[in-house]
Amino acid sequence: MRKAYILDTNVLLHDPGSLRSFQDNTVVVPIYVIEEIDHFKKEASELGRNAREVSRILDGYRLQGKLSEGVALENGGTLCVSLGDDGDPLAAQNGRSSLSVDNLLLALALKMRHQEEGRPVVLVTKDTNLRIKADALGLRAEDYETDRVNPGDLYHGAAELRVAAKDVRRLREGEPSPLPEGSFYPNQYAWVRSDEEGSLSALARVSPDLTELRPLRVPSRTIHGLTPRNKEQQFALDALLDPEVSLVTLMGKAGTGKTLLAIAAGLYQVEELGVYGRLLMSRPIFPMGNDLGYLPGEIEEKLNPWMQPIFDNLEFLLERQKGRKVNSVAKLLTDGIIGIEPLTYIRGRSIPAQFLVVDEAQNLTPLEVKTIITRVGEGTKIVLTGDLQQIDNPYVDAWSNGFNYLVQKFRPEPLAAHVELMKGERSVLAERASDIL
């Protein structure tokens, strides 16, 4: 039986394409949801762009017929705009001044369930509390799950393998070894062990063509004063230093060294190897797209509060360059060796030949991640770091954020590598706090 899906405002602002994501069912957009979307249309932010895109999509369908009566969608479904109480928008406007949009959505769902004579009516919202209220009223409510990652399908980027001792020795000598039977992804990392000779082990990576295990690209020296402290950090550094891997995602709790390793690898390849023209760093100014004009000063001064964690990592790396003449962070910025920019204005840009680090990626939506990745030009390597335990964006969670979505979508791609860092290395106290608080 075909269902009727009532869409909340936050679903449309999260993904304008959600209008086409419900197969051959009926999609209902209440008029008061359109009014809410209208409040966002002038914003110079991702929400504003999404609001305008929703309006353009609805206007395109308006040309095909009356939205109030239903217009056919490309997937065989029907799009309908509900006018509210008894189809009279003026009466609806006068009668709901004291009602929240949440309560209006609940009232519409109850009304449609009564009128549809057994036809399933589903309220789709990313608002957890609204789903709870709907359940209390006996209504069916769901989260928008088209871009949601299944918790049982998480990709950790590494595995433990048991192989013959001779294969472990080959890897330890810097030679590739055969890939054992099993299901693997390109550039998946492995802790390779043998039961034949005690604790004989090696670290390796699955080749992009899934034909062999390759030894890690272990640097012969420290990278800007950093030496990996655990196997996951070695995995991360291997991916960061491989020019054939264009996309690296580093996931882990606070203090595991995600951002520090990314910045160190970027500086090393820009300053000493000359592989990239500049190290470009950014992080969401949450909410993504906030207008920086409300803060005093020039653009650099406006960015300082948001980018201070990046400055902290840079200063830490420079302080570790003992015995070398090193530049200050200010000079690196002045000389164009590094650049620090907000994600707010990335749309429409092309970023070639740079090492791009996007920090705090767990706060991005799937659409925002797509916007960022599609800006990458020829010769650019992009690194996204994030901690699923520190999500500040109320519109996403651990399973629907763009960072996790990117990891799951790109795991079969030979140009991408993912590493999940497990052990905190910031300090004993920080690691203990991360575990028990």
pLDDT for position 7: 96
pLDDT in tens, 209-250: 999 999 997 776 788 778 898 999 999 999 999 999 999 999
**Cα atoms found within 13 Å of the Cα of residue 337, Cβ hemisphere only:** 20
**Quick one: angle between helices 258-267 and 231-241, nearest 10?**
40
pLDDT for position 88: 43
Question: What percent helix, strand, coil does the chain show, rounded to 5?
Answer: 40, 20, 45
- Do 340 and 264 form a contact (C-beta atoms < 8 A)? no
Tokens of 105: 């959505």
Tokens of 405: 């979505």
Pairing of strands 177-178, 212-215: antiparallel
pLDDT in tens, 286-342: 544 444 455 555 656 656 666 777 888 888 888 776 655 567 788 888 888 998 877
pLDDT for position 291: 47
Confidence of residue 108 (pLDDT cuts 50, 70, 90): very high
Q: In terms of pLDDT, which residue wins out, 152 or 293?
A: 152
Pairing of strands 189-193, 201-206: antiparallel
pLDDT at 112 over 70: yes
Lowest-pLDDT range of 259-263, 383-387, 424-428: 424-428
pLDDT for position 43: 85
Q: Specify the domain boundaries for CATH 3.40.50.1010 within the chain.
A: 4-142
Q: In terms of pLDDT, which residue wins out, 308 or 353?
A: 353
Q: Specify the domain boundaries for CATH 2.30.130 within the chain.
A: 151-216
Q: Where are the beta strands (DSSP E) in 368-415?
A: 381-386
pLDDT for position 84: 66
pLDDT at 395 over 80: no
Q: In terms of pLDDT, which residue wins out, 113 or 394?
A: 113
pLDDT for position 427: 76
pLDDT at 114 over 90: no
Confidence of residue 129 (pLDDT cuts 50, 70, 90): very high
Q: The domain 151-216 is classified under which CATH number: 2.30.130, 3.40.30, 1.10.287, 1.10.760?
A: 2.30.130
Percent of the chain residues past pLDDT 70, beyond the cut: 88
> Average pLDDT of 352-357?
95
Q: What is the mean pLDDT of the chain?
A: 86
Using CA atoms, how far residue 153 sits from 212, 407, 429, 433, in Å, is: 24, 11, 32, 28
pTM: 0.80
Size of the chain in residues: 437
pLDDT in tens, 246-277: 999 999 988 899 999 999 999 999 999 999 99
Percent of the chain residues past pLDDT 90, beyond the cut: 56
Whole-number Å distance between alpha carbons of 5 and 26: 6
Confidence of residue 425 (pLDDT cuts 50, 70, 90): confident
pLDDT in tens, 180-208: 988 999 999 999 998 776 678 999 999 99
- Do 19 and 118 form a contact (C-beta atoms < 8 A)? no
156 closest CA partner among 415, 404, 426, 423:
404
Q: Name the strand (E) or helix (H) holding 10.
A: helix 9-14
Confidence of residue 382 (pLDDT cuts 50, 70, 90): very high
Most confident of 228-232, 366-370, 381-385, 421-425: 381-385
Tokens of 290: 């906030």
pLDDT for position 90: 41
pLDDT for position 299: 57
**Cα atoms found within 13 Å of the Cα of residue 67, Cβ hemisphere only:** 18
Whole-number Å distance between alpha carbons of 212 and 207: 6
- Do 196 and 154 form a contact (C-beta atoms < 8 A)? no
pLDDT for position 419: 97
CB-based burial of residue 368 (10 Å sphere; 0-12 exposed, 13-18 middle, 19+ buried)?
buried
Q: In terms of pLDDT, which residue wins out, 91 or 179?
A: 179
Whole-number Å distance between alpha carbons of 185 and 192: 16
Peptide bond between residue 394 and the one before it cis (omega within 30 degrees of 0): no
pLDDT for position 287: 42
Lowest-pLDDT range of 89-103, 120-134, 144-158, 173-187: 89-103
**Cα atoms found within 13 Å of the Cα of residue 111, Cβ hemisphere only:** 15
Quick one: residue 209, left, alpha or beta (phi over 0 = left, psi -120 to 50 = alpha)?
A: alpha
- Do 273 and 264 form a contact (C-beta atoms < 8 A)? no
pLDDT for position 92: 46
pLDDT in tens, 46-105: 788 899 999 999 999 999 999 999 999 998 999 999 986 544 444 444 445 557 899 999
Q: Specify the domain boundaries for CATH 3.40.50.300 within the chain.
A: 222-436
Q: The domain 4-142 is classified under which CATH number: 3.40.50.1010, 3.30.450.20, 3.90.550.10, 3.20.20.70?
A: 3.40.50.1010
Helices and strands: H and E segment counts in the chain = 14, 17
Has domain 222-436 been given CATH number 1.20.1250.20? no
pLDDT at 13 over 70: yes
